[in-house]
Structure 1
Amino acid sequence: MSIERLRARQRGVTLVELIMFMVIVSIALAGILQVMRMTTANSADPLRRKQALMIAEALLEEVRQAGFTYCDPRSENAASAPDAAACAIPENWGNESASGVQPLRPYDNVNDYAGAPGVPAKAFDNGAGELTDALGRKIDASGYTATVAIVPDQLGSIGAGAAAADSNALRIRVVVGYGDGEAVTLDGYRARYLPTVGSE
């Protein structure tokens, strides 16, 4: 009879085992909840990075789509000049305007987006310092900033030339900042396909 009592007693869980089980499960649950909290808190960051990447791609494409001529489009020989020296009005860094009024984007030449080679410029901001699209409409993305830097560069067999605006290859760098010092940087190149033709 005592053997049957011993077997009946061993079927249950002791109080110490139950307490240990509860401690282990509560530690595991606390770890899982901590991971879920961190995931939820940081879930907005990938979205902001994706938005910054989309903005950077659009702005880089805008710059790459601009003309790449030796002459300012107002020059009468803009379509036929073989180099900047032959232009009546040579193309230069920064956007030019005959009337002194800042021209609207998109600008007529790639180098109009930068005031000097390699110097980041806020070419995509309106007069109020707000980031805008190519048509001048404010981009509804608060907290984003964008700069562009353009520099003559070697592109395969195409030489960079000097730091002048008549280089045959340019490297375009667009940086879109967001959050606390975070940024997306995209580089692109633009080369003259037909140097004597005004716009590609």
Structure 2
Amino acid sequence: MWTEFPPLRRRLRSQRGVTLVELIMFMVIVSIALAGIVQVMRLTTANSADPLRRKQALMIAEALLEEVRQAGFTYCDPSSANAETAQNAGECALREDFGNEGPAGTVFLRPFDNVNDYGAANGNPVAAFNDGSGALADALGRRMNLAGYRATVAIIPEALGDIPAGAGADTDALRIRIVVDYEGADPPVTLDGYRARYLPVPRSE
């Protein structure tokens, strides 16, 4: 009967649980791992909206660039009588009407009839896409439901291929730069496009 005790002791030792020190170490390791996972999840959640806002800013920039590029680009104001045939700015006739620009002091209505109406001649950025309250508006002047977004346009005379960079109204190529910014954007979305002047309609002899 006494010979059965040593095997029993060995079985009891082999089935022994973890010690208090081992349990504490396990809890510490699991706590550190969970803290790291929670931190990663927090950062991911906090930044998950930024790609969506950046994509939306890019869509806004593309739409505004397309609007500007579709405007007329002649030596004369498009409302001039010979806008389609003038060979240089000096041949422009008097304007037949005010077009969509209106007399001095009136609010301009988009879309403008000339690319140069969107920006300053010196190429400085202009907030040409805002309504009277400073909010982004569509081409019909209706406010966009896009709080926090800001857009500017710069019209810059620039050489394009074989087209040299001109000056003033005789410039034949323009760089159109749209910048859309929003809170937290770093850097803002910048989109460039070009607009070349088409050859005027030949005069009939």
Q: TM-score, normalised by structure 1?
A: 0.86
Q: In structure 2, what is the equivalent of residue 35 of structure 1?
A: 40
Whether the 8 Å contact between 1:71 and 1:89 is mirrored in structure 2 is no
Q: How does 1:11-22 map to 2 (within 5 A)?
A: 11=15, 12-22=17-27
Q: In structure 2, what is the equivalent of residue 178 of structure 1?
A: 182
Of the candidates 173, 177, 182, which is equivalent to residue 169 of structure 1? 173
Whether the 8 Å contact between 2:100 and 2:113 is mirrored in structure 1 is no
Matched, 1:196 2:180: no
> Which whole-Å CA distance do the structure 2 matches of 1:74 and 1:179 have between them?
39
Q: How does 1:74-113 map to 2 (within 5 A)?
A: 74-89=79-94, 97=101, 99-100=103-104, 101-113=106-118
Deviations 1:78-127 (A, max 9, x none): 1111121221249xxxx983533333100001111012231111110112
Matched, 1:9 2:32: no
Number of residue-to-residue matches in the alignment: 191
Of the candidates 63, 68, 72, which is equivalent to residue 63 of structure 1? 68
Gaps of 5+ in 1: none
Q: TM-score, normalised by structure 2?
A: 0.84
Whether the 8 Å contact between 1:70 and 1:195 is mirrored in structure 2 is no
> Which whole-Å CA distance do the structure 1 matches of 2:192 and 2:86 have between them?
29
- Quick one: higher RCO (CA 8 Å, sep 6+), 1 or 2? 1
Q: In structure 2, what is the equivalent of residue 134 of structure 1?
A: 139
> Which whole-Å CA distance do the structure 2 matches of 1:4 and 1:82 have between them?
111
Q: Runs ≥4 in structure 1, deviation > 6 angstroms?
A: none
Q: What fraction of aligned residue pairs are identical, expressed as a percent?
A: 66
